[in-house]
Structure 1
Amino acid sequence: MATRREIKQEAVARVQDERAARRERSAELKAMDPAERSAAKAADKAAARAAKADRKAERAEARAGMDRAARRADKRRERVYRKVGHRPRRAVGWGVAAVAVVGVGALAAPYAAGIARVSSLTFTDDTPAAAAAREAALGVAEDVADEGLVLLKNDAGTLPLDGGVNVFSFASFNLRLGGGGSGGSNTAGAPTLYEALAAQGIEHNTALYDSMVEAGAEHADGPSNAFVQIAGGMLGQGDHEPAPDYLTDDVLAQAAEFSGTAIVVVGNDGSEGSDFTAEQLRLTAAQHDLLDKVTSVQDEVVVVVNSGNQMELGFLDEYPEITAAVWMGTPGPQGATSLAKVLTGAVNPSGHLTDTYATDVTSAPSTENFGDFSYENVARSFLDYEEGIYVGYRYYETRYAGDEAGYAAAVQYPFGYGLSYTDFTWDAAEPVVTADTVTVDVTVTNTGDVAGKDVVQVYFSAPYTEGGIEKSAIELAGYAKTGVLEPGASETVTVEYAVRDMASWDTAAGVYLLEAGDYEISVRTDVHTPVASYTTTVADDVVHDADPDTGVAYESRFGYVEGDLTYLSRSDWDGTWPTVEDADLVASDELLARMDPQVAPTEGDAPTYGADHGLVLADMVGLERDDPRWEEFLDQLTLEEQVDLFSYGAYRSVAIDRLGVPSITMLDSPAGLNSLFSPLDAAAYPTEVVVASTWNDELAYAVGASVGTEANAYGVEVWYSPGMNLHRTAMGGRGFEYFSEDPLLTGAMAAAVISGSQDQGVLTTIKHFVLNDQEVNARSGINVFASEQALRELYLRPFEIAVKEGGATGAMSSFINLGGSWAGGNEDLLQGVLRGEWGFDGFVSTDAVLGGWMDPELAARHGNDWMLAVFPAATVDATTAAVEADPVGMGAALRDRAHTILHTVARTTAMSS
């Protein structure tokens, strides 16, 4: 068996040979005339495709004859090869922005003016109403953290604690209460774990505490500035846990005498701007050494997992002395208080995981294409979602269906998993199935000794035909959480979902198809643990060819996003396993053209500018967007005013005093209002992964309502939230900022948050629309390729729920290029799906304008209303030039953007202030 060093040396040699061959071929192509070069490129592409197919077939044949150990070695060899060829980059995109902010004094006048404009924002955060809103927010944050913490393990009733405890680990001094970047929040001054334990009457070992202080442990508030957080994430935060040399024999002996129970905190930092490596999601050597020492003198060890991303937690089962574990995620300012309440039993944990916790995070097929992959013939990177629909539990539950031993080896904690201090029994009634809905009633009874809440999860399994439409072996259909049940008490909860939700996207036909056959409906405590199961039969295929709410016909719109890729199939796991081939490294001429589209001028009449109809925006309040009086109002705008409305979309909009148009303020972030450029004393909340772990829509609504109340107190009209991208892998740096790996849970939680905020009159932006599922290269115009089935069933689905059930009034398009076409200027996405199929009538903003691929002309023409340009001078110039080049087509497009912006402003609280 080859050593790791030998495998790496082999990979380096292989990559060097391939790069030398490509350089040689590039020189040959360069020497050809254009016609010959074009033909040679086409031949190279065809040959590469054929070679790729041959290699896949050869590898599949070779792997078929290998034993398990050999297959694992082969997989490792390929993984190392890919890592050598495509090393992940951590500092991208935002590094430019951070340098720009730090070096603002050296910028040219227009850029300095841009910073000055957003940094001049002021907030009414010192009023009684603001103080009352922040005080109420603390209660909401604590309620969410109480229910969002997940009990992973509790052998022999280790928890709740009933006496003094030793608290080990430097990490216990500074719990990670939030993530970093624009999605972070200021948790300075939050209670420490030690303070929280004391408040719950639990004595900790002060001598041990003093030993850690002497060794360098200290309580410190992290930076609240988003750019500092982002920079820290890019550069690496370093190990929070040093080698435990300070735990001498005397210290350990004193700890053993003080108590037989210990708490150890482990975790890691997530931040916008950087991703994790698999190694960073595992215990460090120092953390292993710490556990070795602690378990040598403690009979009961409670591990607290303080991470917003899925870590590898196999170590929990490696030490018999680790008898209990709690996942706390990144739980906001009251996180330590909630943790102490859970540890002591003041709160019975009722949280459930929103992700699959795999034994090996790299075993997910999505990790094969995660990272940094760049073209050789153009300065652009790419990312292939070759795993198709098999993300998270959709992979593990399908791959290991019928193979319990294989599943147990691959998955430690299933999606939806969570324990309680009490016991529940369920009595599930047979589902009521009509032509339109499935309804399941479940009576939950607390048969234990303490009060608690429980979560009922309902799943369906659709029939699968080998070689047909890909289907997960199981999918979440709905869920419900009980209220507090006292011992002996019961509650009946109802889960209802649409029959058509069990249909699958048929790309070939451009419809959703509910195939004939038997469908299993199961009631489960988590995705892998059934309580009751029933079968309903669909007699004949049912075709859904139009959106049920708008009546707009479906069609397959995203063939160019699928690209020329092989997507993972359950009918041939090995033969379709994701890979990155040499051919993928060369952008085709078709792709290059899509990345730089040319728009021909339009014939006809240019729009009217500068008319005088005597209207002001107050006259338009309450009118529907299609009311004809809007046309008269829009005639009054000058071209310059329209360009400014469109271009100045970063955090505050443009005011037009002569028409009574006020400026409105728009702020980040999902964990609480966050002003990147000017001071704001706002409340912090648990991150979205903790909100979702409550499985409680009412608490998600409470978060939105609380932020909305705060926003009104501060004079903020739009909240850049919620974040709705999926946990495609465990390594995505903003996993803390998004809800789940599952689209239904993500969409339902987002819809509740949106409803809460908008019921207070504060508009929201669902983001980042769409495929913004990793940080590496996200801010440099990455091309993402995905199957249309995965795009619709996984990545678009939560946004659809947010629009239809949450009534979302705004959306933020992503940095991402869908198959080469920027999301913020993609007509199929913004007009065809969002506004067409789903009937969305709100506004769309870009994400921060950081690169030339975020073309304002494409944005204006294809439905993106606001450019979030901190430095808007370049956007103003480009937009004005585009109108001059095409006064009819671009003029009409810009007028449409101004229409949406003004309709949005007319819906805000700014019109009543």
Structure 2
Amino acid sequence: MLAINMADVVSVIKSIAPQLIAIVTLLVCALVVMFITRNRELAFKKLSRSAAWILFMVGTVISVNMMLNGPLKTMITLATGRGVITDKSLDEAKTLGEDIAGEGIVLLKNDSALPLKKGTKLNLFGWSSTNPLYGGTGSGGLNDSFPTVSLIDGIKNAGFEVNEDLVKFYTDFRAKRPTVGMWGQDWTIPEPSIDQYKEANVFENARKYSDKAVVVIARSGGEGADLPKSLDPNTEDNFTDGGTFGSKGLRYSDQKDDLDANKSYLQLSNREAAMLDSVNKTFKDIVVIINSANPMELGFVNDYENISSVVWCPGPGQTGFNALGKILDGEINPSGKTSDIFVYDLKKSPSYNNFGDFQYTNMDEFSTEDRGTKHKPSFVNYAEGIYVGYKFYETAAKENAINYAGYVQYPFGYGLSYTNFTKEMGEIVANDGKISIDVLVTNTGNVAGKDVVEIYYNPPYKNGGIEKASTNLVGFGKTKLLGPGESETVKVTFNLEDMASYDEKDKKAYVLEAGTYEISLQEDSHNILDTRTFPIEKDIVYNVDNKRSSDKEVATNKLDDMRGNFTVLSRKDKFANLEEATKAPTDFTLPEDKKAAFLNNSNYDASKFDVESDKMPTTGANNKLKLKDLRGLEYDDPKWDALLDEMTFNDMSKLVALGGYQTVAIGRIGKVQTVDCDGPSSINNNFTKKGSIGLPATIMLANTFNTELAHSFGDSIGKMANEMQVSGWYAPAMNTHRSAFAGRNFEYYSEDPILSGKIAAEAVKGAADNGVYAYIKHFALNDQETNRTYQLMTWADEQTVREVYLRPFEICVKEANAKAVMAAFNHYGTTPAYASDNVLNKILRDEWGFRGMVLTDYFGAGGYGYLDANRATRNGTDFCLTAIDAGFNYVKDKSATATLALRKVSHNILYTTVNSRAYAPENLNLGLMGWQIATIIVDIICAAAVVLLLMKTWKNFKFRKELERREDRVSPVVEVASGDASEAKSDKIVEDKNTENE
């Protein structure tokens, strides 16, 4: 996300300091000339002064040109980008947004209240009905250049009538949500007090309007901060006066009564509960709409007898609320399924106590400063291990460690329909390492609808052996729209090796243990419809002699340094260590051996990592190759060496340094500038402020369980990007929903790695169809916003990392041939994610076969104290996400080791960009940018003006010299006595002469 602050401004000023100094120096020189020539003879004085100011003008023009075509060139080019999205693409995106919302909205409860009759009069309760959430904030925010269909619009467009007096009551209370920037979040829960409701007779008047009530509850999330676990009115961070941003959130002073230290942001607030009490007493058949990407605690819907229907509607983008209206009236039959589990008490989630702000007490010397505040290095323990989301609840229930019904309200993969389906599971077909299952789906109800097929596996588990969840999604599919009585066979196929578990302790490899594997057709993660068994007679170890078919090199332990000093949750003895493993951290000291290995910009010395045997590569050669000549060639084609030989050290360093929202132009090899843009659900150019229609939040796309829709999503993004002349898309984001409180869950897909990976892979493919490379991000384990740029050390065992957090990225690389990756802000243990040779090279490239480029996340001024281009290029990251000299983003070490690293990363960047839309023949002859043409015109005008001024100055000088020669004949006495008059006379003669010349 582009986040310009004063540090960035200072960096820009520093980058143009030489030119600014030159201009100031020339100005001072001109003023000095004015001073020292004040008593000189007229001709010399006029000539000197004119020459000084002409020199100042020429120097200023040259300096401005050097700034515009040097340090500022990339930013100006980005800020004056060209390209316009066609009406056709916009219209297609609008329709697609409705389609995604239509399949991504989830019906959680329905006691026959829905669908409503078209034309029904509705009372919309809850302030959020007038100000719903369309997506999230930060880099995932929507572009406000396009009209947005509001929740009320969507309901009206479906033919419903809305109580306008109730709408006015809410808009009079508060007109809109605050504008949210990068450094704060809108965590307000605006809602009138119950007294305000009563004073306006709201409930009585609403009941007179109609007997139908719809209650809207919304919760926001966004980049930069996680959601509050406590709404404590006495905590300054949770409450700042007057609507200003605090360090963690935003509150309003007129709602202190609404805050409760015992409640989290994902529970009903006091005012919402009071409002719902009154609605429940006044109306029957209440519909509740949950407009939140983060799963809330929804136990309250069971406490009110008149709540008959519950609809989950995460951010629907700019047109998706039309689909909500159509679902309410039955025009669309809901088919969405939950991409996360909904539990009654989030405090009992296994990650709850190990998610948040934990800072080391013995790392003060490594503290960094951000916006004037010192921040100590921090940490987070992934103590729950592989038991994330539904995998914990299903496995713990199977082991009788918990009472499932008391913990889980809505399972993962759960969602209702207005019709009924039967599903018949066929026999397992195993062939060539793949397993296929046919499922016959029949619509046995009275209306048309779609349904999802979910296949899970339950592997054999040995007490104390490799950790395994009892329920694991392994494949899914979705039917077409089936009419009443219509059937469709859905085939689900997956690799046998997909059921292997990673054994980091003994085999140090993936292992498919011997035993009986239960493969189940399920309604959701909890309800089994049918099961087949698949026996494995002996252990299959995927080692060096038998690597997985999808791996380029064998997967083996590479992350031992990530294991922290804490107890990891284990299934052993029926989760005997549940209480110990899931408690909050008590040790805030980084062990001395790990501290000794910790490096940031204060103690990193690249020269210590130079390889003595490295030889300086060729640079600056004249092989007469251009980048376009290599389009379509293999990564290892010999021509690449010839092209790379042509690049100078400075070319390569520039390519690495200025990777923010672009890849820079390198004239020597014909490398054109490419533009990259933000937005998980749209294309947003942070410089031009131009963008595309915002599609629904990514979590809603996951709710569809529809890979075809996901492909269309990516294709739409790719089309609009291509028309905007954008080649790179900073998405999809596929970090894991480890906690319901994570701020960016709206733009991440799910708690399940298979669902995340499969949906994201199709989005990547869709964008690639248009020549757009997608930066899969944030690689990896960037699963919380808290302390993300404050040297956040993530501790986890290798099985957890591989099976849960790397898995979605692995699917995107292997199945979608992803060409770009954005690294994460956090650390793997003590090593920053952007500088992890083990993850970026040994796993991403060597094991998975990735061929492409890796970018840092936003390279803040000073590199946040730990980002460094030299360290990055030596360890697997190719370039830096900044368009200015941010400090540490240039490689200045000219050793053979550093130069070889630059050569390799340049290869990765050039290979990716030359095979993108940027080098399609139709895009290579676009000519100069408008600002460049304007600069040339101004330069020509200035040059002509300088020539004319020089000619005029010289002509006047010669005239004055001639005049002075004439005046030399005058008596010295007369000349002295009338010096002032003489000068005035001379000036008058010059003026007359100029007039004559004109």
2:742 aligns to what?
Answer: 732
The answer to whether structure 1 residue 199 and structure 2 residue 199 are counterparts is no
The aligned amino acid for 1:689 is I
After TM superposition, list the pairs within 5 Å mapping 1:242-257 onto structure 2: 242-248=192-198, 250-257=201-208
Structure 2 CA distance, aligned partners of 1:277 and 1:523? Answer: 38
Contact (CA 8 Å) 1:180, 1:271: kept in 2 or not? Answer: yes
Pair 161,395 (structure 1): closer, same or farther in 2 beyond 3 Å? farther
Shift of 1:259: 1.9
2:416 aligns to what?
Answer: 419
Shift of 1:430: 2.5
**148, 160, 169: which one pairs with 2:126?**
169
Shift of 1:432: 2.3
The aligned amino acid for 1:184 is G
Q: Radius of gyration: which is bigger? A: 2
After TM superposition, list the pairs within 5 Å mapping 1:161-240 onto structure 2: 161-162=117-118, 163-186=120-143, 189-213=147-171, 215-218=172-175, 220=176, 223=179, 228-233=180-185, 236-240=186-190
1:390 aligns to what?
Answer: 387
Pair 124,230 (structure 1): closer, same or farther in 2 beyond 3 Å? closer
Shift of 1:658: 3.1
Shift of 1:622: 1.5
Task: Please state whether the residue corresponding to 2:668 is helix, strand or coil.
Answer: helix
Task: Please state whether the residue corresponding to 1:280 is helix, strand or coil.
Answer: coil
Pair 116,303 (structure 1): closer, same or farther in 2 beyond 3 Å? farther
**391, 405, 408: which one pairs with 1:408?**
405
1:269 aligns to what?
Answer: 220
Shift of 1:510: 1.5
1:856 aligns to what?
Answer: 869
Structure 2 CA distance, aligned partners of 1:423 and 1:288? Answer: 34
**779, 786, 810: which one pairs with 1:776?**
786
The answer to whether structure 1 residue 593 and structure 2 residue 597 are counterparts is yes
Shift of 1:132: 2.4
Task: Please state whether the residue corresponding to 2:858 is helix, strand or coil.
Answer: coil
Contact (CA 8 Å) 1:601, 1:889: kept in 2 or not? Answer: yes
Shift of 1:738: 0.3
1:160 aligns to what?
Answer: 116
Which string of whole-angstrom CA distances, capped at 9 and with x for unpartnered residues, describes residues 787-823 of structure 1?
Answer: 1000000001110100011110111111111011111
Shift of 1:600: 3.2
Contact (CA 8 Å) 2:395, 2:471: kept in 1 or not? Answer: yes
Task: Please state whether the residue corresponding to 1:497 is helix, strand or coil.
Answer: strand
Pair 142,679 (structure 1): closer, same or farther in 2 beyond 3 Å? same
The aligned amino acid for 2:453 is V
Which string of whole-angstrom CA distances, capped at 9 and with x for unpartnered residues, describes residues 323-357 of structure 1?
Answer: 00100111101122111111111110000000011
Identity across the alignment (%)? 38
Pair 615,103 (structure 1): closer, same or farther in 2 beyond 3 Å? closer
The aligned amino acid for 1:208 is L
Shift of 1:905: 2.0
Structure 1 CA distance, aligned partners of 2:612 and 2:806? Answer: 35
The answer to whether structure 1 residue 494 and structure 2 residue 500 are counterparts is no
Structure 1 CA distance, aligned partners of 2:797 and 2:402? Answer: 31
1:867 aligns to what?
Answer: 880
Which string of whole-angstrom CA distances, capped at 9 and with x for unpartnered residues, describes residues 463-504 of structure 1?
Answer: 111111111011001001000000111111111111111110
1:507 aligns to what?
Answer: 504
Pair 826,460 (structure 1): closer, same or farther in 2 beyond 3 Å? same
Structure 1 CA distance, aligned partners of 2:896 and 2:103? Answer: 56
1:562 aligns to what?
Answer: 563
Shift of 1:360: 0.9
Task: Please state whether the residue corresponding to 1:905 is helix, strand or coil.
Answer: helix
Structure 2 CA distance, aligned partners of 1:748 and 1:635? Answer: 40
Contact (CA 8 Å) 1:670, 1:737: kept in 2 or not? Answer: yes
What is the root-mean-square deviation of aligned Cα atoms in Å? 2.2
Contact (CA 8 Å) 2:448, 2:482: kept in 1 or not? Answer: yes
Task: Please state whether the residue corresponding to 1:862 is helix, strand or coil.
Answer: coil
Structure 2 CA distance, aligned partners of 1:648 and 1:105? Answer: 12
Task: Please state whether the residue corresponding to 2:674 is helix, strand or coil.
Answer: coil
The answer to whether structure 1 residue 621 and structure 2 residue 621 are counterparts is no
After TM superposition, list the pairs within 5 Å mapping 1:82-101 onto structure 2: 98-100=5-7
The aligned amino acid for 1:424 is F
Pair 241,119 (structure 1): closer, same or farther in 2 beyond 3 Å? farther
After TM superposition, list the pairs within 5 Å mapping 1:601-612 onto structure 2: 601-604=610-613, 605-612=615-622
Shift of 1:217: 4.3
Shift of 1:718: 0.7
The aligned amino acid for 2:916 is T
Pair 673,165 (structure 1): closer, same or farther in 2 beyond 3 Å? same
Structure 1 CA distance, aligned partners of 2:13 and 2:897? Answer: 38
Shift of 1:97: 5.1
Structure 1 CA distance, aligned partners of 2:691 and 2:324? Answer: 25
Which string of whole-angstrom CA distances, capped at 9 and with x for unpartnered residues, describes residues 67-110 of structure 1?
Answer: xxxxxxxxxxxxxxxxxxxxxxxxxxx99854546888987746
Pair 256,119 (structure 1): closer, same or farther in 2 beyond 3 Å? farther
The aligned amino acid for 2:549 is P
**753, 756, 759: which one pairs with 2:766?**
756
Task: Please state whether the residue corresponding to 2:535 is helix, strand or coil.
Answer: strand
Contact (CA 8 Å) 2:80, 2:688: kept in 1 or not? Answer: no
Structure 2 CA distance, aligned partners of 1:156 and 1:264? Answer: 17
Pair 747,518 (structure 1): closer, same or farther in 2 beyond 3 Å? same
The aligned amino acid for 1:231 is W
Contact (CA 8 Å) 1:125, 1:681: kept in 2 or not? Answer: no
Pair 105,621 (structure 1): closer, same or farther in 2 beyond 3 Å? closer
1:897 aligns to what?
Answer: 905
2:273 aligns to what?
Answer: 288
Shift of 1:142: 1.1
Gaps of 5+ in 1: 1-93
Structure 1 CA distance, aligned partners of 2:854 and 2:834? Answer: 8
Pair 755,831 (structure 1): closer, same or farther in 2 beyond 3 Å? same
Task: Please state whether the residue corresponding to 1:272 is helix, strand or coil.
Answer: coil
Structure 1 CA distance, aligned partners of 2:800 and 2:401? Answer: 27
After TM superposition, list the pairs within 5 Å mapping 1:481-880 onto structure 2: 481-508=478-505, 509-545=507-543, 546-571=547-572, 572-574=576-578, 576-596=580-600, 599-604=608-613, 605-850=615-860, 851-877=864-890, 879-880=891-892
Contact (CA 8 Å) 1:312, 1:357: kept in 2 or not? Answer: yes
Pair 405,785 (structure 1): closer, same or farther in 2 beyond 3 Å? closer
Pair 99,580 (structure 1): closer, same or farther in 2 beyond 3 Å? farther
The answer to whether structure 1 residue 142 and structure 2 residue 98 are counterparts is yes
Structure 2 CA distance, aligned partners of 1:514 and 1:725? Answer: 26
User: So what's the TM-score if we normalise by structure 1?
Assistant: 0.85
Contact (CA 8 Å) 1:784, 1:816: kept in 2 or not? Answer: yes
After TM superposition, list the pairs within 5 Å mapping 1:449-460 onto structure 2: 449-460=446-457
The aligned amino acid for 1:875 is F
Pair 703,123 (structure 1): closer, same or farther in 2 beyond 3 Å? farther
Contact (CA 8 Å) 1:435, 1:499: kept in 2 or not? Answer: no
Shift of 1:375: 0.8
How many pairs align? 806
Structure 1 CA distance, aligned partners of 2:712 and 2:481? Answer: 17
Shift of 1:533: 1.4
Task: Please state whether the residue corresponding to 2:720 is helix, strand or coil.
Answer: helix
Structure 2 CA distance, aligned partners of 1:337 and 1:239? Answer: 24
User: 310-319 or 179-188, which moves further after superposition?
Assistant: 179-188
Task: Please state whether the residue corresponding to 2:325 is helix, strand or coil.
Answer: helix
User: 402-411 or 515-524, which moves further after superposition?
Assistant: 402-411
User: 204-213 or 500-509, which moves further after superposition?
Assistant: 204-213
Task: Please state whether the residue corresponding to 1:695 is helix, strand or coil.
Answer: coil
Pair 314,116 (structure 1): closer, same or farther in 2 beyond 3 Å? farther
The aligned amino acid for 2:879 is W
2:915 aligns to what?
Answer: 907
Which string of whole-angstrom CA distances, capped at 9 and with x for unpartnered residues, describes residues 107-140 of structure 1?
Answer: 774699878843642566674x533222221111
**435, 439, 447: which one pairs with 2:436?**
439
Gaps of 5+ in 2: 21-66, 230-263, 364-375, 924-998
**174, 188, 191: which one pairs with 1:241?**
191
Shift of 1:765: 0.8
1:364 aligns to what?
Answer: 349
Task: Please state whether the residue corresponding to 1:157 is helix, strand or coil.
Answer: coil
The aligned amino acid for 1:702 is S
1:5 aligns to what?
Answer: none
Structure 2 CA distance, aligned partners of 1:398 and 1:562? Answer: 23
Task: Please state whether the residue corresponding to 1:649 is helix, strand or coil.
Answer: coil
